[in-house]
Structure 1
Amino acid sequence: MKFIIQRDRLIQSVNEVMKAVTSRTTIPILTGIKLTADSEGLTLTGSDSDISIQSFIPVEEDEHEIVEVKESGAIVLNARFFGEIIKKLPMETVEIEVHNNFQTTIRSGKAEFNLNGLDAEEYPHLPLIEEENIIKIPADLLKSLIRQTVFAVSTSETRPILTGVKLEVQNEELTCIATDSHRLAMRKAPIESKLTDPTSVVIPGKSLNELSKILDDNNEIIEMVITENQVLFKAKNLLFFSRLLEGNYPDTSRLIPSESKTDVIVHAKEFLKAIDRASLLAREGRNNVVKLSTLPGGVIEVSSNTPEIGKVVEEVQAELIEGDELKISFSAKFVMDALKALEGTDIKINFTGAMRPFVIRSIHDDTMLQLILPVRTY
C-alpha cells in the first residue's frame, strides 16, 4: 500500500475515528486505526466494539486532488502514535507506504517515521446493515436533540437501560427521552421517516455524545438506519455505528403530571443565575440542594442554607405566580441542566406540590419538556 494525502484532511479523519478508539480494550487490534486505500480514496476505521466510526477521504473533491493512491492495500496502525505523528508532521502532504511484515513508513518533508503495523485482515468487520428502516434528520437538529436530552441519562450501571436515550418514531415525529429516575428530559421533532410501524430504540448516551462532537452544525441531512441491535448514522463521507441497549425502557409518560397546583412564569436566565449563586453555598452540603418559596407580589425566593458554611437568600421577580403557596427543595444541578437545555427566554414551571415532580417548559416551544423530582429536606 502506498499513497500521498493532504495532511489536514488526514488529521480531520483521524480525529473523527479516534472518538471510537479506546486504550481499555481486551482486543489489542482495536487500539489501532484501520486504513484502507483503493482507487476511490482512503477509508479510516476506528472501533471499540460498542461504537464504530468510518471516515472516507475521496481521491478528489471540488476538483482538488486530496489523495493519490499509488498502490491499494490496508493496514492497522496504533491510533495514539499515528495520531500524534500526523499532527506534528512538517509539511502539507504526507506519504504513507506499507512494506513487508506490515512495517509502515510515514514521510513528510525531511521527517520520516517507521511504525509497526498490524494485519488489517485481523480487524473486526463492521456490521452489515440492511437499509430498510431509514429516518432522515438535519445534522443541526440531531445535535440539538442530543444536547437537550443526553445530560439526563443515568451514569450508574445498576440499570443499564437508563444510561441511554430512548428514540421513538411515530407518524413522522421523533421523540427523544432520557431519565436517570430523578429527572427526565424530553424533546420532540418532525422528521422524514420510511418507517411504517412505530419504532423505539435506546442508544447509549456515550455514543450520542461522541456522535454530536463529530457532526457539523449545518442542515446537511443525516440518515439514521435502525436494525435489531445496531443503529447507523450516515453523513457525507462518514458512517457512525452504535450498538443499542437491550431491555425495557420504563414507561415515562406516567411520570408527567397532567394537572398542577402552582404555576410560575419566570425569565430563564435570571432564574438560572439565581440558582447558580444559591448553589455556591449548597455545593458542600448534601446533594447541592436549593430551596424555592413563592412570596406575595409575584416574587420567588431562592435560598440555600449549609449550617457549617453559611446561607444565601435571593429574590427573583416572576412574571406570573398562580395557585397555591409553595415551598420546595431540589437539586440545583438538575434544574440548571434543565434550564440550559431549554431554548427560550421565558419558562413556565408547573408544580404539583412540595413532594411531587415538577415540569419546566419553554413558553414559546412545546416540543421540549424537563421534569425534576424534588428533594426531601427533612
Structure 2
Amino acid sequence: MKFEIKRERLVEGLNDVMKAVSSKTTIPILTGIKMDVSSEGMRLTGSDSDITIQTFIPAEEDGEEIIGVSQGGSIVLQAKVFGEIIRKLPTNEVEIEITGNFQTHIRSGKSEFHLIGLDALDYPQLPDIQDDRLFTIPADLLKTINRETVFAVSSSETRPVLTGVHWEVKDGELVCVATDSHRLARRKTKLETLPEGEYSVVIPGKSLTELNKILDDTSDPVEIVMTNQQVLFKSKHILFFSRLLEGNYPDTSRLIPSEYKTEVTVNGRSLLQAIDRASLLAREERNNVVRFSTNSGNEVEVSSNSPEVGKVEEQLQAQSIEGEELKISFSAKFMMDALKAIDGQDVLIQFTGAMRPFILKSALDDSILQLILPVRTY
C-alpha cells in the first residue's frame, strides 16, 4: 500500500472521524483509525462502538489531484499518535507507505516517521443499513433541532433512556423530545419527505452533540435512515452512525398542561438577561433559584435572595399579562437554557400555579415548546 495525499485534506478528514474515537474503549483496535485506500480515494473510519463516523476523501476534486495512489490497501493506525503526526508535518505533501507486518512509513519534507499498524480485517464492520426508512433534513435545520432539544437530556445513567432525545415520526411531522424529569424540550418540524408509517427512536444526546460539530451550517440535505438498533446520518462525504437507546421513552404528552391560570408575553432576550443578572447572587445557593412574580401595570419582577451574599430585584416590562397574580421560583439555569433555545424572540409563558410545571414557547409559533418544573421556596 502506497499513496501521496495533501496534508490539509487528511487533517480535515481525521478531525471528523476522531470525534468518534475514545481512549476509554474496551476494544483495543477501536483506539485506532481505519484507513481504506483505492483508486477512487480514501475512506477513514473512527468508532467507539456507540458512534461510528466515516469520511471519504476523493482522489480528485474539481480537477485537482488530492490523492495519488500507487497501490491501494487498508490499515488501522493509532488515532491519537497518527493524528498528531499528520498535524505537525512540515509540508503539505505527505507520502504514506505500508510494508510487511503493517510497518507504516510517513514521509513529508525531510521528516520521516515509522509506525506499527494493525490488521484492518480485525476492525468491526460498519452496520448494514437499508434505506427503507429514509428522509432528508437540511443540515442547518437539523443542527437547530438538536440545539433546541439536546440540552434537556438527563446526565444521570439511572434511567438510560432519558439520556437520549426521542425522535418520533407521525402525520408528516418529526417530533423531537428531551427530558431529564425536571424540564422538557420539544421541537416539532413539518417535513415533506417523511416515509410512510409511524416509528420512533431514542438517539443518545452525546451522539447528536457530536453530529452538530461535524455538520456544516448550510442548507445541504442530510439523509437520515432509522433502523431498530441504529440511526445513520449521511451528508456529502460523511457517514455518521449512532446506536439507539433501548427501552420505552415515557409518554411526555401527559406532562404538558392544557389549561393555564396566568399567561405572560415578554421579550425573551430581556428576560434572559434579567435572569442572568439575578443568578449572580443565586449561584452560591444549592439550586441557583430565581423568583419571578407578576405585578400590576404589565410588569414582572425577577429577584434573587442569598442570605450570605445579598439580594437583587429587577422590574421588567411585559407585553401582556393575563390571568391570576403569580409568584413562582425556578432554576435560573433551566430557565436560561429554555430561553436560549427560543433564541431571543418574544416568549409566551403559561403558568398553572406556583407549584405546577409551566410552559415557554415562542409568541410567533409553537414549533418549540419548553416545560420547566418550579422549585418550592415559599
TM-score band w.r.t. shorter chain? over 0.9
Partner SS, residue 42 of structure 2: strand
- Equivalent residue number for residue 252 of structure 2: 252
Percent of pairs with identical residues: 66
Q: Deviations over 1:232-285 (max 9, x none)?
A: 111111100000001010101111111111110111111000000110111110
Deviation at 1:345, TM superposition (A): 2.3
Q: Which amino acid aligns with 1:240?
A: F
Match status 1:47 vs 2:72: no
- Equivalent residue number for residue 109 of structure 1: 109
Check whether the contact 2:268–2:343 (CA below 8 A) recurs between aligned residues. no
Check whether the contact 1:39–1:72 (CA below 8 A) recurs between aligned residues. yes
Q: Distance in 1 between matches of 2:63 and 2:236?
A: 17
Deviation at 1:193, TM superposition (A): 3.2
Q: Deviations over 1:315-339 (max 9, x none)?
A: 1111111110000000000000000
Q: Distance in 1 between matches of 2:61 and 2:337?
A: 41
Deviation at 1:194, TM superposition (A): 4.8
Partner SS, residue 370 of structure 1: strand
Q: Distance in 1 between matches of 2:176 and 2:242?
A: 16
Deviation at 1:344, TM superposition (A): 4.4
Q: Distance in 1 between matches of 2:278 and 2:271?
A: 11
Check whether the contact 1:344–1:365 (CA below 8 A) recurs between aligned residues. no
Partner SS, residue 312 of structure 2: strand
Q: Distance in 1 between matches of 2:266 and 2:355?
A: 21
Partner SS, residue 148 of structure 1: helix
Q: Deviations over 1:103-141 (max 9, x none)?
A: 111111111111111111111111111111101111111
- Equivalent residue number for residue 180 of structure 1: 180
Q: Distance in 1 between matches of 2:146 and 2:194?
A: 21
Deviation at 1:297, TM superposition (A): 1.0
- Equivalent residue number for residue 299 of structure 1: 299
Q: Distance in 2 between matches of 1:91 and 1:327?
A: 65
Deviation at 1:365, TM superposition (A): 2.3
TM-score, normalised relative to structure 1:
0.98
- Equivalent residue number for residue 274 of structure 2: 274
**Root-mean-square deviation over aligned CA pairs:** 0.9
Match status 1:220 vs 2:220: yes
Moved more, 125-134 or 325-334: 125-134
Check whether the contact 2:269–2:344 (CA below 8 A) recurs between aligned residues. no
Check whether the contact 2:2–2:95 (CA below 8 A) recurs between aligned residues. yes
Q: Which amino acid aligns with 1:369?
A: L
Q: Which amino acid aligns with 2:335?
A: V
Q: Distance in 1 between matches of 2:281 and 2:101?
A: 62
Q: Deviations over 1:271-325 (max 9, x none)?
A: 0000001101111101110000111111111111111111111111111111100
What 5-or-longer segments of structure 2 have no aligned partner? none
Match status 1:230 vs 2:230: yes
Q: Deviations over 1:54-104 (max 9, x none)?
A: 000011111111111111111111101111111111111211111111111
Q: Deviations over 1:200-245 (max 9, x none)?
A: 1000000000001000010111110111100011111110000000
- Equivalent residue number for residue 365 of structure 2: 365
Q: Distance in 2 between matches of 1:165 and 1:226?
A: 14
What 5-or-longer segments of structure 1 have no aligned partner? none
- 1:73-92 residue pairs with structure 2 within 5 A? 73-92=73-92
